[in-house]
Structure 1
Amino acid sequence: MYLRAVHAESSIKSILNFIQTNPLGVLTTAIPSSTYPFLQSSHIPWVLDISDDPGAAAISNLDSPTQRLEHDVMVLFTGPHHHYVTSKFYTETKPATAKVVPTWNYAAVQVYGKATIYFDSSKPETSSFLSQQLRDLSGQCESSIMGYTGQDGNPEPWSVSDAPERYIEIMKKNIIGIDISIESIGGKFKMSQEMGIGDRKGVIEGFSNLGTDTGLHIAEMVKERGEMKDQSK
């Protein structure tokens, strides 16, 4: 991922929070195989262990039985709101010189690391890992995404124990678990920071006037990231 300094996120806390808020990541692997493409990408929800920064997920669509992958893997997380930016939003530069082009605003985090694969649920270590991932992943999604906390009138969250134990054991036979030890991580918030104050105001107004949830979110992010840039000078 190309990172211009003006778009790069330097706060690890902010990057990790982004992953927790947007847990569906695209895992890219490079696995030699005579039957499958060398490069594959899979959409997988992840659980982040803040203590030592690994990601972990339970999935069922990788096809290699390797315990430890030889090559690094990459996971790309993207924010839910992104949008095309028309040059017409640049209300300062476009009328003055017309030297502007359209672009796209978005936020993303990219993770590189070594992956360990857990694929045989008959082994105690794998069974334990998969059980923990099922509990952690469902707990995270039920509470943070669905808002099911069982408190303040909110519904009780679904838990693994709600399903028959035998059923879960059968399901675990069709699940592959992945644990990634993170070796490098980078965050990018491309929200018109490269533009001057006048053009950013035009972008904020333009997106606000769209009247959509995405437009309002992008407008707020452009405002927030622009202020951060100005304060860092």
Structure 2
Amino acid sequence: MYTPPAFRDDDVKNIRATIRAARLANLVTATADGPLATPLPLFLDESEGEHGVLYGHMARANSHWRASPIGEALAIFMGPEAYVTPSWYATKQETGKVVPTWNYIAVHAYGPVEFFEDSERLLDAVTRLTNLHEGARATPWAVSDAPADFIAAQLRGIVGVRIPVTRFEGKRKMSQNRPEADRVRVAAGLAASEEPRDQEVARLIPTQV
């Protein structure tokens, strides 16, 4: 990932927070037939290994898991993002030398990928992933709410994904490279938007550095 020094984010807490907040990741592997990509939810077990281990699952019918990967896999997690119009820049009135851009947060996680079919490991991964996303609901659904034989049949239709993370790349592009006057106006412009994602980005722009 292209990451100029101004946007590089090596803070482990920020990286883990982005992964936890991401509703969906993209798993990418290189193969002899070209790159393969599958959108799927992943969770990070921070207690395993030096950087943690990512877990998830995909449909057994998905040919992605049968293609031997070349090198490490890449899991892409996207955080808040928003379009930035140059109309907000104070610099526009001063020189006119401005162009549109995009503010966003992204994390790339790399590591060797393992696909597994063991039913106990699959049940554990599915249960943990479900608990993660159901936990905040007033009446959480649990895997154990469904009949055991039904769950067993569902597990036969998926394969597990395990990625011991070897390294992270974090990028936090929030107008840090712009003058303070520009940052203030971008934050104000996004805050006035009716789009919740824009409002979220507005809160992340450093108006003072």
Q: Which residue of 1 aligns with 2:99?
A: 101
Query: Is the CA contact (8 Å cut-off) linking 2:29 and 2:70 kept in structure 1?
Result: no
Alignment partner of 1:167 is 2:166: no
Greater displacement, 105-114 / 200-209: 200-209
Q: Tell me: CA distance 1:113–1:97, structure 2 relative to 1, closer, same or farther (3 Å).
A: same
Unaligned runs of 5+ in 1: 120-125, 149-153
Shift, 1:71, TM fit: 2.1
Give 1:178's aligned residue. 161
Structure 1 residues 100 and 219, CA, compared in 2 at 3 Å: closer, same or farther? same
Give the structure 2 partner of residue 136 of structure 1.
128
Corresponding residue number in structure 2 for 1:192:
175
Q: 2:34 aligns with which of 33, 38, 48?
A: 38
Unaligned ranges ≥5, structure 2 = none
Secondary structure of 1:3's match? coil
Structure 1 distance, partners of 2:56, 2:11, is 24
TM-score, normalised with respect to structure 2: 0.91
Further displaced range: 188-197 or 68-77:
68-77
Conservation of the 8 A alpha-carbon contact between 2:83 and 2:102: yes
- Does the 8 Å contact 1:75/1:111 carry over to 2? yes
Cα gap change, 1:207 to 1:23, in 2 (>3 Å): closer
Shift of residue 21 of structure 1? 1.3
Matched, 1:202 2:185: yes
Report which of the two structures shows the higher radius of gyration computed on alpha carbons: 1
RMSD over equivalenced CA pairs, Å: 1.7
Tell me the equivalent position of 2:46.
50
- Matched positions, count: 204
CA distance 1:62–1:46, shift in 2 (3 Å): farther
TM-score normalised by L of structure 1: 0.82
Q: How does 1:1-233 map to 2 (within 5 A)?
A: 1-32=1-32, 37-52=33-48, 53-60=52-59, 61-65=62-66, 69-79=69-79, 81-91=80-90, 93-119=91-117, 126-143=118-135, 147-148=136-137, 154-155=138-139, 157-223=140-206, 226-227=207-208, 230=209
Distance 1:64 1:178 in 2: 9
| Contact residue 69 and residue 117 of structure 1 kept, 8 A | no
Conservation of the 8 A alpha-carbon contact between 2:38 and 2:64: no
CA contact (8 A) 2:36 2:64 kept: no
Partner SS, residue 195 of structure 1: coil
Shift of 1:23: 4.3
